[in-house]
Amino acid sequence: MYPLEIYGGGLYLGILSLIDIRTRKIPQWLLILGMLMAVITKSICKNISIILIISGVAIGLLFCMISKTTGEKLGVGDSYVITLIGAFTGMWNLLQILCYAFLFSACYSAAILIIKKFNRKIQIPFIPFLMAAYVLWSF
């Protein structure tokens, strides 16, 4: 990927992370803007095959279905962001980013449970972990 793609994606995820931390809701217009950025970027750069992009989007849509069927245990906004990352990076990179993000969120959740003794029903924003995983993946 090109540096402009990496920095642009990181900046976009950073903005979404701040919104997710503060409000736990992602505005639809930001998600649409992200999808437009992914489509335009991939149309210009063409550094990932269309099959990998479609596969990445399919994985994201699977997360959207999981979110809907579980009563949003994983937020719909988080699932849409996963779909965007899949469209932007492709299937294999998305899977790697998801592995990092779930590892980071598991470590954070364990630390919160141990240190602050919260119960298991606490909700944490997931997009910051996606951003951290994206940054780790990009290096």
Mean pLDDT is lowest, of 54-63, 66-75, 79-88, 89-98, for 66-75
Q: Averaged over 23-50, what is the pLDDT?
A: 89
Q: Tell me what pLDDT residue 139 has.
A: 85
Q: Tell me what pLDDT residue 118 has.
A: 67
Whether the predicted pLDDT of 1 surpasses 70: no
Band (pLDDT 50/70/90 cuts) for residue 30 is: very high
Question: Both tokens of residue 52?
Answer: 């990998």
Per-chain mean pLDDT for the chain: 90
Q: Averaged over 31-37, what is the pLDDT?
A: 92
